[in-house]
Chains A and B, each alone.
Chain A
Amino acid sequence: MGSTAKPREIRLSTTPTQEELAKLKLGDIVYLDGLMYTAREGVYKRALDEKANIPMELPAESAANFHCSPAARINEDGTFEMGAVTATASFRFAKWLPEWLAKSGAKLVIGKGGMSSKDYKAYFVPNGAIYLSTVGYGTGALLGRGVDNVEAIHWNEELGLAQAMWVIRCNRMGPFIVASDHEGNCLFERENERISKNLHKVYEGTRPATLKRFGETDDKSEELI
C-alpha cells in the first residue's frame, strides 16, 4: 500500500449537533451510532407525492436518511435477518430531497456517489445537512456488522422489501466518507477536477466515433455524421 496520509476517523451520532457537523471535513471517515432509517424513491413518493403519514418521529428519533435497500428478510416469527447493507446512487433522488430535508429534518444523508455542490448549497446547507458516502461501494458486510438491531420495517406491504423504510439501530456502523461540508463543498467534484486535468493526455491516440449520437450534440436537426 503506497498510502501517504491516513484519513481522520470520527464517531458521530445519527442525531448530531450543528457543532459536530461543522467540524466535519471532506474526506473524513465517519462511524455512526444510533437510529437510522432507509428511504429512497418508494418512501419519498409515498411520503411526499402521496402525502402518507411518516411512521416515525423525525428528526427526534433519527436525523440519518440512508439511501439503501438491505439484503434482508422478515422471518416467520416477525423478527428480521439483515445480512449486508449497501447504498444506492443518490443523484436520482434530487427531485424529492429538498422537500424531504425540510420535512424530515434529516442532518445526515448517506448514500452512493453524493450530490452536486449546487444541490448541497441549495438545500443541504440551509437545512444544516451533510452528505456521507458509503465506501467502495461494496462494503456491505462491514456495514452489516454495524447493525445492532433491526427495530422496524414500515411500508413493506405497499413498497416491497427493497423499497420499504427499514429502521436500524447502528453501533459504530461504517466506514462512511464525508462527501459534503457545512459550506456545501463537494468531495467528488474536487477529485474530478484534479483527474480532468490529465484526461486530454489519456485520450491522445483515440478518435471520436464516425457516427455521432444525440446527446453529443444538442442540435436535433444535425445529421450526426
Chain B
Amino acid sequence: MIPMDLIEKTAVTLMNKAAIEIPDDYLTGLKAAAEVEDGDLSSFVLQAMLENYEAAKEDRRAMCGDTGTPRWYVKMGNQTQVEGGPVALEAALRRATAKATNGVPLRPNRVHPLWRTDHDNNVGIGAPEIEYGYEPGGEWIDLITVHKGGLFGTDYRMLFPSDGIEGIKRFYLDSLVAFGKRGLSCQPAIIGIGLGGCKDTCMVLGKRAACLRTVGDRNSDPKIAELEMELKELGNSIGMGAMGFVGKSMVIDAHIEVGYCHTGGMQMSVHAFCLSSRRAVARVFADGRVEYRTDPQWFTDYQRRETVEWEVPQNHEKSA
C-alpha cells in the first residue's frame, strides 16, 4: 500500500522540477543544435535559451513564463495499491497541481473555454488531465508530469494508405513550416507523430511520442526508427531555425508511435514539445522509497504489445 501523503508530496516536487529544470536529454540535444547552427539570429536565440536554463535553475524560477497546461501520466505495476484508492489519487494530483501553481509560482493558464472563469490554480473541469497505464508485475507507481504548451504546433489529418510515406512527409512539413513561421511552436522542439489508431488515439499517441520519449530514443521497430531519423533530418533541412529565423534547427528529435487503425485509413497527428520540454518523473514504492528521473520510460514492450495475451518475457520481468 503506497501512502497518499507521500504521493502528494512527491507530486508537488515533480511540478516544481518540471517547471524549473530542463531535462538533460533535451539540453544535450539543444547544445548539439547550437553547435551546428550558423544563422546569426537563430544562434543568438539558442545561446539565450541555454543561458535561460541556467538562470532558471540558479534562481529556482520557472524557465518559461508560460508554464503550459500541466497534466499527469500515472503508471502502476500490476500489484500496486494506493491508500484511499483511485479517487484519493486523483484528488492528491489535483491538490499538488493547485499547490505548485501557487508555490513555484506557475502561470494559472487554465480557464473555462466559454466563460473564461479562472480558479488561478490550473485546476478545473477536466484539468489537469490524468492518464493511466499499467505494467505486468511490480508494486510501484510512476508519477509523470508534463507541462506542454497549449496553443501552437499540433495538427491532425486523415490520410489514407494511398498517401503513403510521401503523404506523411507532406503533412509533417506542412505542420512544421506553418507553425514554425515566426516561431509560434517555440522550436527547435521534440516532434511527436501519431500514426493510426482512431482520431482521438492518434492524437494521444502523437502527444505521448513528443512528451514521454527522450531525445535519442528510437522506436523498437527498426523501420519506424529509420523513419524517425529521416523525418528529423527533413525537418532540419527546411532552412528555418528558432523563432522562424533563417537557420537549421527545427527538430531536436522526431518520435513516432503507431496504433492499429481502420483498414482504409492512415490517421496522422503532429505535436511539437517546445524549447521548455517540461517533464519530470518519480517512482514511488510501497516501502516509501522515491526515485526521481526525467525519462518517463512509458513505451515499454507491454505498451506496444500486438497480441491478445501477454506473456512476460524472461529478460523483461524485472525491468517492467
CA distance A211 to B276 in the complex (A): 35
Tell which of B35, B62, B102 touches A140, judged by Cβ atoms closer than 8 Å.
Answer: B62
Tell which of B49, B105, B274 touches A83, judged by Cβ atoms closer than 8 Å.
Answer: B105
Chain A residues 194-225 with CB under 8 Å of chain B are 194-195, 198-199, 202-203, 205-211, 213
Question: Judging by beta carbons under 8 Å apart, are B37 and A81 in contact?
Answer: no
CA distance A141 to B52 in the complex (A): 6
Scan A159-187; emit 1 where CB is below 8 A from any B CB, else 0.
11111000000000001010000000000
Chain A residues 112-171 with CB under 8 Å of chain B are 112-114, 133, 135-145, 159-163
Question: Judging by beta carbons under 8 Å apart, are B243 and A135 in contact?
Answer: yes
Tell which of B47, B56, B275 touches A137, judged by Cβ atoms closer than 8 Å.
Answer: B275
Tell me the smallest distance from the CB of A156 to a CB of chain B, in Å.
Answer: 9
What total of A-B pairs shows CB separation below 8 Å? Answer: 228
Interface residues on B, range: 35 or more
Tell me the smallest distance from the CB of B60 to a CB of chain A, in Å.
Answer: 8
Scan A66-97; emit 1 where CB is below 8 A from any B CB, else 0.
00111111000000011111111100000000
Stretch at the interface among A1-9, A17-25, A52-60: A1-9
Closest 10 CB pairs of A and B: A86-B65, A160-B118, A2-B38, A141-B56, A206-B170, A84-B62, A140-B65, A83-B61, A3-B43, A113-B182
What residues of chain B have their CB less than 8 Å away from a CB belonging to chain A? 19, 34-38, 40-41, 43-49, 51-53, 55-56, 59, 61-67, 102, 104-109, 111, 116-118, 120, 151-152, 157-160, 162-164, 166-167, 169-171, 173, 177, 181-184, 186, 234, 237-240, 242-246, 274-276
What residues of chain A have their CB less than 8 Å away from a CB belonging to chain B? 1-7, 27, 29, 42, 68-73, 81-89, 112-114, 133, 135-145, 159-163, 175, 177, 188, 191-192, 194-195, 198-199, 202-203, 205-211, 213
24 sample A-B contacts, Cβ–Cβ < 8 Å, listed by A number: A1-B43, A2-B38, A7-B44, A68-B65, A71-B105, A83-B62, A84-B62, A88-B66, A135-B44, A135-B45, A136-B183, A140-B52, A140-B56, A140-B62, A140-B276, A160-B117, A188-B182, A191-B41, A198-B238, A199-B239, A202-B239, A203-B173, A207-B163, A210-B167
